[in-house]
Structure 1
Amino acid sequence: MKQLELSELTALLRECAGEDEGVDLDGDVLDIPFTDLGYDSLAMLQTTGRIERDYEVTLDEAIDGAGTPRAYLDAVNRALAAREAA
């Protein structure tokens, strides 16, 4: 089963919304809120749309409450696992 990894998420964030010069996305960012990383709701919407398209998965409203990379990855990977199980 394919899972979204942190390195893939940070690459997508950079592609979809750029990167704040003061933030090191290669560091330990799993539990840092997206807003502290410089990503607003529009950036997350763009990233989510890209993941839905690239991974052929529908992400429900649970993704809206995912305020950190860890929570976001958990939500995406749950959706990917559910798709595989169907």
Structure 2
Amino acid sequence: MTTTNTLPFTVDDLLRILVESAGADETFNLDGDILDTGFEQLGYESLALLETGSRIEREYGISLDDTELTGSSTPRQLIETVNGLIAAAAA
């Protein structure tokens, strides 16, 4: 897999990786404004987020520690964390 390592990491990137890693909860509409909706409300629990974090690390050439990953309770928080790590890696 190719490392993209570019800003910004977007909600579309996150949704793609979430669905590829853990599938989608068909009872929830992922097309809406989900940035501030909790991952658990979206149907993604800790195991799904760990797999998602692993995929993000591989695709973007960064390292997410467990605290950064589990400390991000919404897509917005995770996207901000990932973009900060991408920027730091590029510097």
Instruction: Work out the CA distance in 1 between the residues paired with 2:45 and 2:71.
Output: 13
After TM superposition, the runs of 4+ consecutive aligned structure 1 residues lying more than 4 A away are none
Identity between Structure 1 and Structure 2 (%): 45
Return the offset for 1:14. Answer: 0.6
Between the two proteins, the alignment pairs up a number of residues equal to: 85
The structure with the largest helix share of the pair is 1
Conserved 8 A contact 1:63-1:76? no
**What is residue 12 of structure 1 aligned with on the other side?**
17
Return the offset for 1:64. Answer: 1.8
**What is residue 78 of structure 1 aligned with on the other side?**
84
User: Which one-letter code corresponds to 2:22 in the other structure?
Assistant: A
TM-score by structure 2 length? 0.88
Conserved 8 A contact 2:18-2:48? yes
Instruction: Work out the CA distance in 1 between the residues paired with 2:10 and 2:16.
Output: 10
**What is residue 3 of structure 2 aligned with on the other side?**
none
Conserved 8 A contact 1:30-1:69? yes
RMSD: 0.9
Structure 1 runs not aligned, ≥5 long? none
**Higher alpha-carbon deviation: 60-69 or 72-81:** 60-69
Instruction: Work out the CA distance in 2 between the residues paired with 1:37 and 1:84.
Output: 31
Query: Partner of 1:21: helix, strand, or coil?
Result: coil
User: Which one-letter code corresponds to 2:43 in the other structure?
Assistant: G
